[in-house]
Structure formats: structure tokens, C-alpha cells
Amino acid sequence: MKIPVDKSIVIKNKTAQQLSYPIVDTNVKDFYSDVESISNPTVNEAFYGQDANYLGNTPSYTNNNNQTITDNVTGLMWQKDMGEKMTFEEAFSKAENATLGGYSDWRIPTIKELYSLILFSGQVKGEKAIKMFIDTEYFNQPLGDINANEREIDAQTWSATEYVGKTMNADATVFGVNFVDGRIKGYPKNNPRTKNENKMYFRMVRGNTAYGENNFIDNNDGTISDLATGLMWQKADDGIGKDWETSLSYAENLELASHSDWRLPNAKELQSIVDYSRSIQTTNSPAINPLFETTKITDPNGDEQYPYFSTSTSHLDGRNPFASAVYIAFGEAQGKMRNRLMDVHGAGAQRSDPKSGMKENYPEYFGPQGDVKYVYNYVRAVKDITPTTKLNTDTSTIQTQKEATKTEQKPARNNNNTPPFFSELLDKMDTNKDKKLSKSEVKGRLKENFDQRDTNGDSFITEEEMTRRGNR
């Protein structure tokens, strides 16, 4: 069914009010390649499937005219003005005694509650603020005090969520959202030099105490549903690092469990499945529910680690604001400081990597904490449990089923995975008919990923190795 629609209209997810953990849309409406702003791509075009191709729950707020703001999607009520910076303990004491707006049930928000407010229509350039990553029509968001030797981006908002591991030099760490530069980081609870308690901003919240709590169901078909958010997830990642364009294409073309309406999750969708009670330091696992399967990698020191995962959301920062995309760290968010690799931001941090680059040059390190820059990150695809309407950016119409669009524009496969059957690869590439593939025989993406597929290192890829990676 197609209905004419004004492009300026955003269709709201009608199921939002029935969910305990509805995800607020990122507010991204523009389109980008890996280097520039582009016109809206359509199905099967390069860079289709990015954030702005999909419409979530439109950010919607009500000013209650008593210094409180209600989020009409999440049901959370927020403090409009954060006041002065304070210590972690001072913030909890303030919330316990607060009577703002006539309510006495205020609390310090979890990192998932706090992240519900982020909007990726914001922009920053290094340490210079350009546009806030929060709706400043409703929320007061200060900048860092440059007269006190702070940077403009030194206006982080702390959450109630403490990192279960340690960062930097075994520092106790609290997660916060920086609504000036659009990131989640773990911040030391105490100043590493003076040992005094650090001070940050806090924005109190009340209402919907179930927000941020997942309700996962293993569907026993390679997918996991979250009944709290209304999202269905790919249980196992694909096991191969990809640049941003390839990640978008992989998710768009995934066929799994009789579904073909998969996509690359946006930043807020992916962050919703982080389990902040887990880390490689404390549970020897990625920061995600054990129902999910996550590929192990090795870090630049050769130690066991878990990947960064890509999102469909661009992160507007730097000299070329279109060149980076948001990722979530499900393993340690590492950096190299004083020539030592360490966890600098915590498992569950959200930052950004370049969308493309020469693989031979990575990982590199950048920024004051020497953040590891991978470029080739991993993918865990998502879909709506009940498909919602989406804007067809080519024809300016609403189409109720993405699957119908895909059926019209690409031939259907008879299996549940994007890559071809191994027998098809043999027919095309096995020139000596030995029922296995050598590096000299393979072509395209398979050649690029040959070493990762060749799990036993014998210089051949067999059907067993392809199947182990989730392919056929």
C-alpha cells in the first residue's frame, strides 16, 4: 500500500506507548556517503540503509512550565536545568531530597535513560561546539567554561551507571553522555592526580522505572527478540570486520529466519542491548546478554578482546564532518596512552570511527586518549518485530513493508543467509575441482576476507569453515 506523503512528515512508531523501553529516534534526516553529504539513496544504491532511511519514534517533549520536561515517547520526566556541577555522591543526595515540580521521586538516570535524550542531528568540530546533541528548545545544556581553562566540550552529564571494570590506571569510572560532542565515555570518579572527587553535571529524572530494562526471548532460529523495545536482533554477528558502506549493504541484504527486512541498527537501537553489568574484566565476556553470540578478536597487543559494532548513524565531527560513523564498544574501549594500551572509556562506550580507509593502516590511534581506530567494525543486524511504516525516499511515499520492496528489486534466495551456498562458490571458483578454495581461486570480498575464513590456516577454505562462520 502506498500513500502520498509530505517529505517533512515523520511517521511515529505506533507501538511506542505499548513498550516499556521505546527507543527515541536519533533525529537524523540527512544522508551521507563516507566523505560527503549526498541526496537520499534508494534501495540497492550505495549507502542505502543508513539512519535517515528509517523513521523511528519522533522525539517529542512537553514543557510542564515548572522546570520539568516530559518525554512523550519514553514517559520519563526530566529536570530542565541541571544547575552547577557536583560530585557523584552530592548528586544522589540532591535527587533524594528534591521536590522539583512537586514530585519527590527523583533519581539520577541510568546511562540508558540518559542516552534516550541524545540527538545525532548535533555537530561538533574537535573541541568546538557547533550544534548540541540534545534538544535545546526544551533542555538547558551548558558549555565548558573556557575562562576556567575548560574546553567547550567539557560539559559532560554523568549517569548513575558505574563501570563494572576499571579504566586508565585502575580508576573507578562512571559512564556519562556528552551532549556537546555526542559520545558516551567512562569518566574517572576521582581526579587521578589529586585523588579529589571529580564534578560533573547531572540531570535528574523520574517516572517509567522499567526504562532501559530488556526482555529478551531466544527465538531458536538465529534471532533474539526484545519485547521491551519491540526489536528483533541477529543472534550471532557475521564474524568479519567491514567498513561502513559494506556494513550497510550486509544488513540490508541479510535473509535470516524467513525475514529479509533487516537493517543496520542506529546508535540508540544498538546501545539498547548493551549489558552494563558485564565486561571482559569482570565476567570475561562482552557487554551483552549471554544469549547473544559475539566473535572474539585480538587487540593490537595480541590479547583477547571483543569488537566494536557499527551503527547506521553518522557522527558529525572533525574537519570532514561526514566521514565518521557511530560505533558501540562491546569489549573494552581501548586507547594507547604513554605507549601503553588500556581500557580508556569502558565497555559500553559510544564513539565514532572513520567510515572507510586503507585496511593496512589500521588500527591507528587518535585523540587525547589515543583511541584505537579500527574502521572495519562488526555488524549485528536488527529489524522491528512488527514492521513499522518507513519513508520511501525515492518516491516520497509511505510503504508498509520493506520486504515487499526487496522482493520487487532483487531475486529471492532459497536460504536464510546472505552469502551464497558453498556449492555455488565451488561452481564459480574451484578451477582444479578439489572441492575447496585456495586464495588464488577466490575473487571479490571472499579474497579480501580469505585469512579470516581460513580458520585452520591451511591456505584453503572448506565448506566446514564457511558454515562455521554462519554461511553455507
Residue 446 has pLDDT above 70, yes or no: no
- Arithmetic mean of pLDDT over the chain: 87
Q: What are phi and psi of 72, to 5 degrees?
A: -75, -15
Q: Distance between CA atoms of 29 and 7, rounded to whole angstroms? A: 10
Q: How many residues does the chain have?
A: 472
Residue entry with cell 585502575: 170
Burial of 209 (0-12, 13-18, 19+ CB in 10 A): middle
Distances 417 to 191, 218, 226, 385 between C-alpha atoms, Å: 49, 18, 22, 19
Q: How wide is the angle at C-alpha 203 spanned by C-alphas 227 and 369, nearest 5°? A: 90
Residue 413 has pLDDT above 90, yes or no: no
Per-residue DSSP letters for 230-290? Answer: TEEEESB--SS-B-HHHHHHHHHH--BTTB---B---HHHHHTTB-TT--TTTTSS-SB-T
Please report the pLDDT score of residue 459 as a whole number.
Answer: 77
- Residues 39, 7 contacting (CB under 8 angstroms): no
Distances 48 to 29, 312, 393 between C-alpha atoms, Å: 13, 10, 10
Please report the pLDDT score of residue 4 as a whole number.
Answer: 35
What one-letter code names the amino acid at 468? Answer: R
Please report the pLDDT score of residue 447 as a whole number.
Answer: 65
Of 80-94, 423-437, 456-470, the least confident: 456-470
Nearest to 154 by CA among 165, 163, 142: 142
Tens of pLDDT, residues 109-145? 999 999 999 999 999 999 999 999 999 999 999 999 9
Q: Distance between CA atoms of 389 and 359, rounded to whole angstroms? A: 37
For a pLDDT cut of 70, what percent of the chain falls above it? Answer: 83
Residue 25 has pLDDT above 80, yes or no: yes
Question: Sheet containing 390-392: which strands, arranged edge to edge?
Answer: 2-4, 397-399, 390-392
Of 11-20, 242-251, 284-293, 364-373, the least confident: 11-20
Q: Distance between CA atoms of 408 and 415, rounded to whole angstroms? A: 18
Please report the pLDDT score of residue 137 as a whole number.
Answer: 98
- If one compares 269 and 360, the residue with the highest pLDDT of the two is 269
- Residues 224, 290 contacting (CB under 8 angstroms): no
Tens of pLDDT, residues 375-408? 999 999 999 998 644 444 443 333 434 444 444 4
pLDDT grade for 38, boundaries at 50, 70 and 90: very high
What one-letter code names the amino acid at 163? Answer: Y
pLDDT grade for 367, boundaries at 50, 70 and 90: confident
Q: What are phi and psi of 18, to 5 degrees?
A: -90, -5
- Kindly list the domain boundaries of the chain, sorted by start residue: 2-18+32-55+215-332+353-384, 61-206, 419-472
Nearest to 224 by CA among 280, 296, 293: 293
Please report the pLDDT score of residue 438 as a whole number.
Answer: 78
- If one compares 257 and 446, the residue with the highest pLDDT of the two is 257
Q: Distance between CA atoms of 439 and 392, rounded to whole angstroms? A: 41
pTM: 0.81
Beta strands in 344-471 (DSSP E): 350-354, 364-366, 371-373, 382-384, 390-392, 397-399, 437-438, 460-461
Residue 292 has pLDDT above 80, yes or no: yes
> Which class is domain 419-472?
mainly alpha
Residue 2 has pLDDT above 90, yes or no: no
What one-letter code names the amino acid at 167? Answer: T
Residue 220 has pLDDT above 70, yes or no: yes
Dihedral in degrees, nearest 10, Cα atoms 463, 467, 469, 472: 90
Please report the pLDDT score of residue 326 as a whole number.
Answer: 98
Of 132-141, 181-190, 373-382, 451-460, the least confident: 451-460
For a pLDDT cut of 90, what percent of the chain falls above it? Answer: 72
